[in-house]
Amino acid sequence: MSVRRIGVLTSGGDAPGMNAAIRAAVRAALNSNLEVMGIFRGFEGLINQDLKVFDHRAVSNIIGRGGTILKTARSADFMTEEGQKRAVETVKKFGLDGLILIGGNGTYNGGIVLSRKWNVPCIGVPGTIDNDINGTDSTIGADTAVNTALEAIDKIRDTVTSMERIFVVEVMGRDSGFIAVQVGLASGSEDVLIPERKFEIHKMCHDMVEGNLRGKVSWIVIVAEGAAKAEDVAKQITEITSLETRVAVLGHIQRGGSPTAKDRNLASMLGAEAVNLLNRGETCKAVGVISENINIVDLEFAVTKKELKTDNFYQLIKTLT
């Protein structure tokens, strides 16, 4: 079957660079003589027929903008058989021959259902700050999020050093310590707590007290949200060491802002490649980049647990403290 019209959506947590991916998918499709529809609020837009035809101008001047012009949502309705039926009806009604789904694991799981169960060709483009998608070295938004968090932690370092304090900084990552490890090393932080690695609070506290005796009076601990709550870690530190602590939860600022060049370029490559795959009649695939080369995997593989190689970074953080 030849592909004539495709749909593009963003779903799940937004990530900087999603707009660049939308732009790439829309322009690549139009330039290969396909029609494109932008679908709003992820799978919700499919269920509620909230979509419209996009032309070249619909994606003008968005390559550097954070967020997603298509809006995004985590759709509970799409989890139901009824919701899926309505989504597929929309696909048929509007003559969509394939979908490009930009998002993370939840989005990819939706793509697996749509393609395997309902025969709707789907290609996934990895858009998430968590960098927890398999088959790609990096996901769109991860680099920007790391740099945003780093900028904040550098500022925290100024006050930490001036007031000779212990600070616990919480970064995003429900199941992934990617941001925590990256900013931990880049900010010269003294410790990092991540979901992937067992952590001994007493050992850290012992190091703090010892350091304190040697004259090392400021300390930054980075905590990935999936490992612990910064507030709890700070309380424990004070209970064990009697040292004063302060807490900062960086939260959603990590999801906003203008994407870095790396994220814009990744998004541009992968958005365009997703169109190529649909044109070739592929389905249930995810596009990614490994060692600067395009890499294609099944969506089922893309959602398997990605191994986070933290040991080198973790050792370096300790070596350099």
Q: Catalytic residue at 143?
A: no
If one asks whether residue 13 binds ligand F6P (CB under 6 A), the answer comes out as yes
Cβ proximity to ligand F6P, 179 vs 234, nearer residue = 179
In the set 128, 189, 265, 283, which binds ligand F6P (CB under 6 A)?
128
Q: If binding means CB under 6 A, how many residues of this protein chain bind ligand F6P?
A: 10
In the set 44, 130, 170, 273, which binds ligand F6P (CB under 6 A)?
130
In the set 42, 45, 104, 184, which binds ligand F6P (CB under 6 A)?
104
Nearest distance from residue 12's CB to ligand F6P, in Å? 6
Cβ proximity to ligand F6P, 18 vs 88, nearer residue = 18
- Scan residues 207-236 and list those touching ligand F6P (CB under 6 A): 225
Nearest distance from residue 204's CB to ligand F6P, in Å? 23
- Scan residues 232-291 and list those touching ligand F6P (CB under 6 A): 255
Other CB atoms within a 10 A radius of the CB of residue 257 amount to 18
Nearest distance from residue 172's CB to ligand F6P, in Å? 4
Cβ proximity to ligand F6P, 112 vs 129, nearer residue = 129
Cβ proximity to ligand F6P, 160 vs 168, nearer residue = 168
Task: Name the residues annotated as catalytic.
Answer: 130
Residues engaged in binding ligand F6P (CB under 6 A): 13, 104, 128-130, 172-174, 225, 255
